[in-house]
Amino acid sequence: MTEKVKILMLGEGAVGKSSLLSRYVDEKFSENIQATLGVEYRQKILIQGESQVTVQVWDTAGNQNSRGLGQERFRVITPIFYRNAQGVSLVYSVIDKNSFQQVQTWIDNLKEQIDCEQISIVLVANKCDIAQREVTTLEGQQLAQKYQIKYFECSARTGAQVKEMYTELVQQILVRRGQNQNSQNGEKIPKNIQIDGGETQPQKCC
Ligand SMILES: Nc1nc2c(ncn2[C@@H]2O[C@H](COP(=O)(O)OP(=O)(O)O)[C@@H](O)[C@H]2O)c(=O)[nH]1
Ligand SMILES: [Mg+2]
């Protein structure tokens, strides 16, 4: 069985989206990561028994933000970026309160582009290796609870929770796909798929 999933990295500029992606795909942290220009995607292939999953993660322009000039550029790239997306990693930085406050704007942008019922989203608090935080764990957890999505405290620098975060998204996407296929076939029992252990049910936020 070969599956392909498409995941988007969303969030304010400089929160660490490209660093998280690089940590996941290259398994390293680069201090001088280049600002992303336009849109690019990276792939990682997961093999589990006889199954292969190609995880395609799309990253956005380095200096876009949910307001202002960057958004204009973002609008231009929007259609291909969102097309057939099945998962979103919505990232803020724990040392940047504004990036946390903009999470709602990112969800609103997303809703304009995509049917949120059909997409899996996780909330990512990045840069958790830094002690002086502007956003607490509780604030992050409460926001995730409001949207009914999973919350991960990550660090692209140390690698903490990065693989787990992507794995959760991949699992949710595959489970949702299995359920959609089952309902098309008239079956009522959802198919649960496991990757790296643990069972997952797809969640929805909006
Ligand atoms: N301490 C720390 N710095 C990080 C982390 N992730 C990213 N950074 C730094 O934050 C800056 C912005 O990262 P980048 O990945 O370009 O953010 P993007 O604009 O969201 O893609 C860079 O200087 C990174 O080295 C992290 O987990 N911990
Ligand atoms: Mg970037």
Pocket flag, ligand 1, residue 155 (CB < 6 Å): yes
Listed by start position, the domains of the chain span 2-185
CATH of 2-185, one of 3.40.50.300, 3.90.226.10, 3.10.105.10, 1.20.1730.10: 3.40.50.300
Pocket flag, ligand 1, residue 61 (CB < 6 Å): no
Pocket flag, ligand 1, residue 87 (CB < 6 Å): no
The chain-wide mean pLDDT, for the chain, equals 85
Residues 6+ apart with CB under 8 A from 18: 9, 33, 34, 35, 36, 59, 62
The mean pLDDT of 41-52, rounded to a whole number, is: 90
pLDDT at 158 over 80: yes
State the Cα–Cα distance between residues 94 and 151, nearest whole angstrom.
13
Percentage of residues of the chain with pLDDT beyond 90: 57
SS3 5: strand
**Do the Cβ atoms of 125 and 153 come closer than 8 Å?**
yes
Cα 110 to Cα 3, 8, 190, 198, distances in angstroms: 24, 10, 27, 28
Instruction: From 26, 33, 94, 162, give the residue whose CB has the most ligand 1 atoms within 8 Å, as the site to mutate.
Output: 33
pLDDT, residue 121, reads: 97
Burial class (CB in 10 A: 0-12, 13-18, 19+), 160: middle
Pocket flag, ligand 1, residue 9 (CB < 6 Å): no
**Do the Cβ atoms of 74 and 10 come closer than 8 Å?**
no
Query: What torsion, rounded to 10 degrees, do the Cα atoms 91, 177, 57, 69 define?
Result: -60
